[in-house]
Amino acid sequence: MVEQKPLTRQHMAARLADEFESGWLVNLGIGIPTMISNYAKDVLFHSENGVIGYGSMLPEGEENPYLVNAGGQHVDINPGASIVHHADAFAIIRAGYIDVSIMGSYEVSETGDFANWRTSGRKGGGIGGAMDLAMGAQRVFIAMEHTTRDGKPRLLKQLNLPATALGVVTTLMTNLGLFDITSEGFLMREIAPGYTPEQVQELTDAHLVISLDLKDVDVQV
């Protein structure tokens, strides 16, 4: 019997990296998404602070104190990279050149709405560039925990929190599986090892559509 174990943040990041196509221009949001630069290959990473072409995060002692991603983590820089004004970095977003933006979120609805800037009763980290990215990127992926810390669902029929953008999320990665947003709602393509679709459904407010080709998430970190 396979041990029931939610995916780690590293596993989530590595699995989403496998969704990229060679040559994509990719923007990574704060949180789990920033880890993706440690795993993705053959893509170009874009950051709102003006670093275009950065690489993996660097361990303590090897960092360049003047080179960080949008989340403030120290990163490597790849040959051919560019450093531009942040206004130019946003111009790239607004012109539609970002192939995919990966962001964290507090909630995602079955119609592809997401909320990632304000929680109930208190403001979160602020909207930042999320609204620009949500409307400017060709695709929006979300990486987040499947439930809140007290076990409440985050995959909802409709949002409870103020929306960042409506109908833009195409793919969602949680610690329980990989989902596409379709006209029928959340389509579960892959599931965390040891879990059943029924167990994941119990932790989900919205109805889940189960892929006929459902398989375990299989990724090495």
Catalytic residues: 48
What would the two tokens of residue 104 be? 């964290």
Measure Cα distances from 154 to 110, 125, 143, 159, 191 in Å: 11, 18, 12, 9, 16
Counted residue by residue, the chain has a size of 221
Quick one: 49 exposed, middle or buried, by C-beta within 10 A (0-12, 13-18, 19+)?
middle
Name, in order, each residue with C-beta under 8 angstroms of 197's C-beta and a sequence gap of 6 or more: 188, 191, 208, 210, 214
Dist CA 37 CA 129 (whole Å): 19
What is the 3-class SS of 8-34, one letter each residue? Answer: CHHHHHHHHHCCCCCCCEEEECCCHHH
CA 106 from centre of chain: 12
Task: Tell me the C-alpha to C-alpha distance, in Å, between residue 51 and each of 76, 109, 199, 204.
Answer: 11, 32, 42, 37
